Amino acid sequence: MNLPTRTTASEALMANALRVLAMDAVEAAQSGHPGAPMGLADVATVLFNRFMKLDPAEPGWPDRDRFVMSAGHGSMLVYAINHLLGYDDMEAEQLRNFRQLGSRTAGHPEYGHAKGIETTTGPLGQGVSTAVGMALAERMLNARFGDELVDHWTYVLAGDGCLMEGISHEATDLAGHLSLGRLIVFWDDNRITIDGATELSTSTDQQARFAAAGWHVQAIDGHDTDAIAAAITAARADERPSMIACRTVIGKGAPNKAGSHKVHGAPLGAEEVAATREALGWSFAPFEVPAEVRMAWEAVATNGAADRAAWQQRKGAHPLAAEFDRAFGPVDGKALAEAMTAHKVRVSAEAPKVATRKASELALEVVNATLPNSVGGSADLTGSNNTRSSAMRPVTRQDYGGDYIHYGVREHAMAAAMNGIALHGGLRPYGGTFLVFADYCRPAIRLSALMGVPVTYVMTHDSIGLGEDGPTHQPVETIASLRAMPNLTVIRPADAVETAEAWEIAATSVDTPTLLCLSRQGLPTHRRVHSDENRTRSGAYLLRPTSGARDVTLIATGSEVEIAVAAAGLLEAQGIAAAVVSAPSFELFAEQDAAYRAAVLGNAPRLGIEAAVAQGWREILGEGGAFVGMTGFGASAPAADLYRHFGISAEAVAEAAQRLIAKTA
């Protein structure tokens, strides 16, 4: 391969510009991490100067290379690079206002805050794992659209911390297994973390570890520009994912503090800043960059613009151009709504008694047949999560043309990889595990929510209703904890109709991830009269109205809606008018206007029913409300026995309703 040598003469200067900008911005903020940017400046310079394909004028260009700063505390490196590349939203003013309210230069790089930030990083290990999803998406789209349209690389800078984190072990294992050759990880091997030398806490042979997982591994001096370039060239030539161990000095350039954990996360101080300028021979004022350096960095952008123009031309003449644009464009919500309405007509007529995990599979047949860029998967629970629809076929290292990913027993990496797939664009991922293991992926779910990427989590076995597997597998606090997370839509559908509606919401979401809580056990179809309207979208609605004034309102979710309906029947026999509200999504209900919410909730006393803890219900139930659910962990037994044992039954609900009415009267 004939690799470009764009501007080599001034690479040392280009790198020093990054060092000084990072050092000065941290000094101005009196907060931040100068060590990693200064140590990684040479690696970053060679990568961008000789290899990266990007166009700051078109930051979303689908065939750009992806750059992930997994060591997110080194955010100033990203901001300095993007400033020098000429991104129009990363002016010097942004660097001067590093870490200040309202600036784009947040403490850690945040997706959506500024152009050229491919993913939010900071929670160590997430970046490298998200990048695995990006590199996988690249191969999957390459299989669909070919080299002319999809042919790019994912580059990651990861520190000691990223590689220590458990998620990186899951993710690198998966990347090696799938032989994601378009992924190149630079390990910032500076042997320093916050507490001091890495020998305090790790003895892992990282090179051996990556080699064991099927990676191509090299080790270089991370300050030798030619060695860096040669290693990247060799990495690109190898079919496997590559790890380049870059031996670096943290805070390189600072004469007295380099190499010490003291430069990890504190300003250098005026004296050391001056000494660094002196040592680097840098005579320019803070945020002043000499024209020669600026031009060298801008040449990278100019080259990238030419690459982008050539790609645009190729795409213009490509037979798959329209399909490609559709994959990267908005979801065809109209087509899905039509298909899902037809499905709902069938389901409400047939009224199957199925678990909502099975109903989810039925809905997925519709979603996946309608949206060709839907990508499924499960963390080794495919048969239990019902995530694989009939026409799906697995993605393998030999054939990336499939649309179903066996993530293995790696929940956290699955969630992070799904973020990466969604961020990459062109594909819409969903993936399954047991709801109780949401905690095994929570940090990545949190990033989906924070970034606003429309990933769908298919979480089955959502209560004690899973039965014999027992309390290790029975979520009780999980749903409440997920409802506490901002910008996550949690939906716990009650039957096959609500499940279809939930999938329509999830599959068309633009900037909110969706988490479906689905039952293991069979549930009756409550909605037997078809309505075109997606009632789940309102979050909660009157499922069983009363003929006259209500004496009590029973509000339930998921599998407990059946119990609420039965309890309403018992109460009716006693002359008590009980309305039943199905409340599949608290978040969607909170978005409705006050009049709608008041009409649904009514003025009668309210009783909530959910086989989970009461936390989070008060907003719906009000001060005077009552709750039937769980107060501690579950147990191992058949589901029906457990519901009886824990007092979650139609009889118990009817009694609780009577007590509530008596108390309020």
Ligand X SMILES: Cc1ncc(C[n+]2csc(CCOP(=O)(O)OP(=O)(O)O)c2C)c(N)n1
Indicate which residues carry an active-site annotation.
411
Residues 6+ apart with CB under 8 A from 577: 546, 547, 548, 549, 550, 551, 552, 571
Task: Report in angstroms how near the CB of residue 244 gets to ligand X at its nearest.
Answer: 16
Q: Classify 421 in phi/psi space as left (phi over 0), alpha (psi -120 to 50) or beta.
A: alpha
CB-based burial, 256-286: b 16+ in 10 Å, e otherwise: bbbbbbbbbebbbeeebbebbbeebebeeeb
Cβ(580)–Cβ(565) under 8 Å?
Answer: yes
Rg (CA), the chain: 28
In the complex with Mg ion, which residue's Cβ is closer, 164 or 637? Answer: 164
355 HSE (CA, 13 A, CB side): 18
**Nearest to ligand X of 222, 426 (CB atom):** 222
Task: Give the span between the Cα atoms of 627 and 634, in whole angstroms.
Answer: 17
Which residues fall within 8 angstroms of residue 455, CB to CB, at 6 or more apart? 415, 418, 419, 422, 429, 430, 431, 448, 513, 514
Binding mask 181-220 for Mg ion (x = CB under 5 A): ---------x-x----------------------------
35 binds, among Mg ion, ligand X, none (CB under 5 to 8 A by kind): ligand X
CA distance 328 to 473: 38
Cross-strand bridge partners of residue 66: 154
Closest distance to Mg ion from the beta carbon of 657 (Å)? 60
Token pair of 256 as six digits: 């007295």
Question: Out of 32, 34, 35, 467, which residue is the one contacting ligand X (CB under 6 A)?
Answer: 35
CB 167 within 8 A of CB 413: yes
Residue 377 binds: one of Mg ion, ligand X, none (C-beta under 5 to 8 A by kind): none
Q: Which of 119, 120, 193, 419 binds ligand X (CB under 6 A)?
A: 193
Positions in 171-190 near ligand X (CB under 6 A): 188, 190
Binding partner of residue 411 among Mg ion, ligand X, none, CB cut-off 5 to 8 Å per kind: none
First-to-final CA distance of the chain: 83
Question: With CB under 6 A as the contact rule, which of the stretches 60-68, 139-147, 154-162, 494-502 interacts with ligand X?
Answer: 154-162
- Residue with the CB atom nearest ligand X in the bound state: 159
Q: Are strands 541-544 and 522-523 parallel, antiparallel or unpaired?
A: unpaired
Q: How many secondary structure helices (H) and strands (E) does the chain include?
A: 25, 20
Instruction: Tell me the per-residue interface mask from 111 to 150 with ligand X, x by CB under 6 A, - otherwise.
Output: -----------xxx--------------------------
Which phi and psi (to 5°) does residue 551 adopt? -90, -30
Instruction: Provide the minimum distance between the beta carbon of 188 and Mg ion in the complex, in angstroms, as a whole number.
Output: 6
Letter for the amino acid at 268? L
φ/ψ region of 571 (left if φ > 0, alpha if ψ in -120 to 50, else beta) reads: alpha
State the binding partner of 71 from Mg ion, ligand X, none, CB within 5 to 8 A by kind.
ligand X
Which parts of 264-293 interact with ligand X (CB under 6 A)?
264
From the list Mg ion, ligand X, none, partner contacted by residue 24 (C-beta under 5 to 8 A by kind): none
The reply to whether 36 sits near ligand X by the rule CB under 6 A is yes
Applying CB under 6 A, does 445 fall inside the site for ligand X?
no
498 binds, among ligand X, Mg ion, none (CB under 5 to 8 A by kind): none
The burial class, CB within 10 Å (0-12 / 13-18 / 19+), for 317 is exposed
- Site mask for ligand X (CB under 6 A), range 77-116, x = bound: ----------------------------------------
Binding mask 123-162 for Mg ion (x = CB under 5 A): ------------------------------------xx--
Binding flag, residue 509, Mg ion (CB under 5 A): no
Smallest distance from Mg ion to CB 194, Å: 9
Residue nearest to Mg ion (CB): 160
Residues lying near Mg ion in the complex (CB under 5 A): 159-160, 190, 192
Residues lying near ligand X in the complex (CB under 6 A): 35-36, 71, 73, 122-124, 159-162, 165, 188, 190, 192-194, 250, 264
